[in-house]
Amino acid sequence: MKFDLKITDAKSKARAGVITTDHGTIETPIFMPVGTVGTVKGVHQTELKNEINPDIILGNTYHLYLRPGLDILEKAGGLHKFMNWDRNILTDSGGYQVYSLSGRRKINEEGVKFKSHIDGSMHFFTPENVMETQRIIGADIIMAFDECTPYPCDYNYAKRSMHMTHRWLSRCISHLEKVPFKYGFEQTFMPIVQGSTYKDLRQQSAEYIANSGQQANAIGGLSVGEPAEEMYAMTEVVTEILPEDKPRYLMGVGTPINILENIALGIDMFDCVMPTRNARNGMLFTAHGTINIKNKKWEDDFSPIDEMGITWVDTMYSKAYLRHLFAAKEMLGKQIASIHNLGFYVWLTREARKHILAGDFREWKDQMVKQMDNRL
C-alpha cells in the first residue's frame, strides 16, 4: 500500500490523500459502505458501483467466519471473487462484533470465547487465528484484533484492556509474518488505538500504535455512547500523535456531522452502519438535514426524494411514493433509502476532499454542519 498526502488544510487538520493498493486507488477522506456479510444490505453491485461508487467497502471477520465460513470463502478464492467486487475491501477483525455480544462472550489474555448469534455454537477468537481468518477472507486492508471498551468504562479496566490490546497487537504482527497472502495481492495491516475516554491512555496507546510502525493506523473505542465532544477530544489527542504520512481510520463513526468534524481533526477513513441501518427505518440524510420519510407530512409531497440527485433514486422517486413504500412495508422502500443514504455519505466525503483541495474546507464544513443539524 502507498499513501500520498496531497494537502493539509491551513485552517484545520483536514487532509486529502490517495491510497493505492493492488485493487486500485482510494481517494481520502473516504466513507466506506459496510457490507457485513459480504453484501451492502439491499444494494445490488450495479447500484453500488455505478451510483454510489465507493473506492472501498467493508466486510466483517466475525460474520463471514460464521457464515458462509472459511471453507467456502477459500474455495471461492476469497471475498472479492465470492461477491464479485473488484475494488478494495477492508475487513474488521471481529473485536467490535464480539464486544457487541456482551453476555455471550468471555475475554481473557488468550482471546475471546463467544457464542454464535446464529446457532449458539461456541467459538474462540485469538489474535493469531483472526489473522489467519483475514488471510483467507482476503481483504486488501485487515484489522488488528482488539478489545473495544464500553462507555462509560472505569479507568482501571480501560487501562488493563488497552495494555491487553497492545499485547494482542504484537501477537497479530508476529503471526502475520508466518502466514503469507493467499491470493497474490498484498494485504495492509492496521493496528487500533484504544484507551476509552481517558486522555493519558489515548496518548499512551497512540504512541504505542505509532511505534508499531505499520503502514496505516486506526482509532477504535469511540462512538460507543460518549458525547460527541468527548469523541472529538479523543480524536484530537490521537491525531496529534499518529504519523502524518500514514492514513488514519476512525472506526464506526458516525453521523454526517461526526464525519465532517473528525475530518477537520485529521481523520482520512470512516465506516458506519448508520446510512444503511437508518435507511431501513425510514431515516434519510440530506445536505439540509434529516428526513423521517414515514412522517405523515410527506404523504402528498410529490417532490423528488432529494433534488441534489446524487444517485438516480433521488430524482426517480418522490417523497410521497417512498413514504407509501414504507407504509406498505415494501422492500423496495428500504432499498431506495439505502441507496440514497450511501450515495449521500460517499458524496459528503468526496465533497469534503474537493473543499480541502480548494482551500475552503473550514468554511464549507461549518456551513454544512449547521445545515445538516435540521430535522426536515
CB 259, CB 324: distance < 8 Å = no
Secondary structure (3-state) at 124: strand
For 265-301, the DSSP string reads: TT--EEE-SHHHHHHHTTEEEETTEEEETTSGGGTT-
Cell triple for 321: 411514493
Rule CB under 6 A: choose which of 89, 131, 143, 305 binds ligand PRF.
Answer: 143
Rule CB under 6 A: choose which of 19, 48, 79, 192 binds ligand PRF.
Answer: 192
Rule CB under 6 A: choose which of 62, 65, 96, 270 binds ligand PRF.
Answer: 96
In angstroms, rounded to a whole number, what is the distance separating the alpha carbons of residues 249 and 266?
Answer: 10
Is residue 78 a contact point for ligand PRF (CB under 6 A)? no
Alpha helix stretches (DSSP H) within the chain: 45-47, 61-66, 70-76, 79-83, 95-100, 127-137, 155-176, 199-211, 228-241, 256-264, 274-280, 312-316, 319-327, 331-358, 361-372
- 271 pairs with which residues across the strands? 32
Is residue 252 a contact point for ligand PRF (CB under 6 A)? yes
Is residue 93 a contact point for ligand PRF (CB under 6 A)? yes
Residue span binding ligand PRF (CB under 6 A) among the ranges 35-43, 197-205, 222-230, 301-309: 222-230
Nearest to ligand PRF of 57, 251 (CB atom): 251
Is residue 169 a contact point for ligand PRF (CB under 6 A)? no
- Is residue 366 part of an annotated ligand binding site? no
- Is residue 221 part of an annotated ligand binding site? yes
| Annotated catalytic residue 92 | yes
Whose CB is nearest to ligand PRF?
Answer: 220
Find the shortest distance in angstroms from Cβ 273 to ligand PRF: 9
Site string for ligand PRF, 145-164 (x = CB under 6 A): -x-x----------------
| Annotated catalytic residue 271 | yes
Q: How many residues bind ligand PRF (CB under 6 A)?
A: 15
Nearest to ligand PRF of 239, 311 (CB atom): 239
Find the shortest distance in angstroms from Cβ 366 to ligand PRF: 25
- Is residue 194 part of an annotated ligand binding site? yes
Find the shortest distance in angstroms from Cβ 152 to ligand PRF: 15
The one catalytic residue in 55, 140, 268, 271 is 271
Is residue 274 a contact point for ligand PRF (CB under 6 A)? no
In angstroms, rounded to a whole number, what is the distance separating the alpha carbons of residues 15 and 17?
Answer: 7
CA 345 to chain centre: 11
Kindly report the backbone phi and psi dihedral angles of residue 283, in degrees, each rounded to the nearest multiple of 5, phi listed first.
-100, 125
Pairing of strands 122-125, 289-292: unpaired
- 106 pairs with which residues across the strands? 113
Task: Please give the C-alpha separations between residue 295 and each of 35, 307, 315, in angstroms, as whole numbers.
Answer: 28, 19, 20
Rule CB under 6 A: choose which of 95, 138, 256, 266 binds ligand PRF.
Answer: 95
Q: Which residues are annotated as a binding site?
A: 92-96, 146, 194, 221
Q: Which residues are annotated as a binding site for substrate?
A: 92-96, 146, 194, 221
Residues making contact with ligand PRF (CB under 6 A): 92-93, 95-96, 143, 146, 148, 192, 220-224, 251-252
Show which residues are catalytic.
92, 271
